Amino acid sequence: MGEAPVFYVENLKDRFSNGFNLRFKGFETSVDVGDKTFVIGSNNNDSISSIEVQIYDKSRGKWVIPTVLGTEPKRYEGHSAILLNEDRIMVITWGSTPDDCIWFLEVDTEYVKQQKKALGTEVIAWSKGVRGDAEKPVVISGPSGVGKGTLINMLMKEFPTMFGFSVSHTTRTPRIMEKNGVHYHFTERSIMEKDIKDGKFLEFASVHGNLYGTSIEAVEAVADLGKRCILDIDVQGAKSVRASSLDAIFIFISPPSMAKLEERLHLRGTETEEQIQKRLRNAKAEIEQGKSLGIFDHILCNDHLEKCYDNLKKLLGLDGTTPTNPKPSSKGINLPSKHAASKINNKILVKSETLGSGNPSKNSIVLDVSLLKGGAPGRTRGLNVFAVDPNPFSDCLNGIHKLS
């Protein structure tokens, strides 16, 4: 299984005589997937800041401009393109930073199929490739007054380097002392509505005329730091996250009884009796939904705070029986500035096209794609990187060692 077909500008002109309009002014490749050819190109045009894709439908003899979802790569000098599993194309860029050089163009994944059906048009989606794995995010829900905030604070205090919160988006205006990107990502309503439509949000709600929501990118950003993301959201939000592509652990915190919950709400002394009764009505509905809809993997009863916290730690593997070292933050991949790529089973061999580049480990590396997880509109994780033995007499794929 060799390198996916790569055609340069001259080849493309000869290959497509039926109305091919060369839009790209820079580097191009094309990859065949079934009865379609995906032409991936970068422009040497200051007004265009990212890569573009055209699709040639061979069955109809027509060119298609697809709807593009996900976060697109930035401009670069060139790229290699490799077809993986008939549903995505691995794009390895030239001249990019180490943390921005591996991308996946999804052309027939489940996410793309869902978006095609929803939008009624041809769809492609970009996903950034990341080395290594990330811990599953943790969704914690429960009615107001049940103590979930206290439990989360206890986790954060005991394991400050292991957990992190995603920063939510909102369309409301910042309040005094609020900082963009710290307290919220403040955005325009039209932008957030488009991102919601494009599937970039795990959950969202309208509160007093303003939109609030958790984006996939916000959760991924926590994982990029080597931390496990905690999502403190209500049952409806958890239901939306469960229906998304995010692979998470869902935990519902339940009170021992409604009478005990009412007692706790009164002890807080922050609300009127009318407000407390409203919270109790909402809590009853949330508890019924939390226990009956199949949303949650685990239900914890917060009868005694310390006992509930111990049980929460057990669910998260933090009870001392497993290592609690945090994941390292995402590392980049040092690739040759110009390279060619070929596929052998689940490994991609990347070889430098520049002779005498110095460090032999940078002349050839192997990317293992056998353990990929995730995908658009978030990251694609699970990439492993190996250096190739520079000895010219060694078997290329046997003489490799994993890079740290």
In the chain, the number of structural domains is: 2
Give DSSP secondary structure letters for 260-315. Answer: HHHHHHHHH--S-HHHHHHHHHHHHHHHHHHHHSS--SEEEE-SSHHHHHHHHHHH
- Helix or strand holding residue 391 (H, E): none
Residue 209, token pair as written in the block? 């005329």
In a domain, 219, yes or no: yes
Q: Are residues 148 and 285 in the same domain?
A: yes
Q: Are residues 151 and 172 in the same domain?
A: yes
Which tens digit of pLDDT belongs to each residue from 99-133? 889 999 999 999 999 899 989 999 999 999 999 88
Q: Which of 315, 348, 371 is the last residue in one of the domains? A: 315
In a domain, 4, yes or no: no
Q: What is the pTM of this model?
A: 0.79
Q: Which of 315, 348, 373 is the last residue in one of the domains? A: 315
Q: Are residues 375 and 288 in the same domain?
A: no
Tell me what the pLDDT averaged over the chain comes to: 84
Q: Are residues 115 and 145 in the same domain?
A: no
Q: Give the whole-angstrom CA distance, residue 135 versus residue 67.
A: 31
In a domain, 232, yes or no: yes
Higher pLDDT, 92 or 333: 92
Q: Are residues 341 and 262 in the same domain?
A: no
Q: Are residues 160 and 104 in the same domain?
A: no
What is the pLDDT, as a whole number, of residue 403? 52
**Of 55-59, 153-157, 270-274, 311-315, which range is least confident?**
270-274
What is the pLDDT, as a whole number, of residue 47? 52
Which tens digit of pLDDT belongs to each residue from 71-86? 888 877 788 899 998 9
In a domain, 327, yes or no: no
What is the pLDDT, as a whole number, of residue 401? 52
Question: Please, which pLDDT band fits residue 398 given cuts at 50, 70 and 90?
Answer: low
Residue 146, token pair as written in the block? 């049940």
Which tens digit of pLDDT belongs to each residue from 17-44? 444 444 445 578 999 999 999 999 876 5
Mean pLDDT over residues 259-283, rounded? 89
In a domain, 321, yes or no: no
User: Which residues are identified as catalytic?
Assistant: 175, 268, 279
Which tens digit of pLDDT belongs to each residue from 273-310? 999 999 899 999 999 988 887 899 999 999 999 999 99
In a domain, 212, yes or no: yes
Residue 295 sits in a domain of what CATH number? Answer: 3.40.50.300
Q: Give the whole-angstrom CA distance, residue 199 versus residue 145.
A: 32
Q: Are residues 114 and 192 in the same domain?
A: no
Q: Which domain holds residue 288?
A: 138-315
Q: Are residues 309 and 216 in the same domain?
A: yes
In a domain, 198, yes or no: yes
- Cβ of 39: how many Cβ atoms within 10 Å? 23
Q: Which of 290, 315, 340 is the last residue in one of the domains? A: 315
Which tens digit of pLDDT belongs to each residue from 309-341? 999 999 999 977 555 565 666 677 877 777 888
Q: Give the whole-angstrom CA distance, residue 260 versus residue 239.
A: 26
Residue 384, token pair as written in the block? 């492993």
Give DSSP secondary structure letters for 176-208. Answer: TT--BTTTBEE--HHHHHHHHHTT-EEEEEEET
Q: Are residues 102 and 168 in the same domain?
A: no
Q: Are residues 248 and 286 in the same domain?
A: yes
In a domain, 326, yes or no: no
Q: Is the pLDDT at 6 greater than 60, yes or no?
A: no
Q: Is the pLDDT at 49 greater than 80, yes or no?
A: no
Q: Are residues 67 and 160 in the same domain?
A: no
Q: Are residues 116 and 145 in the same domain?
A: no
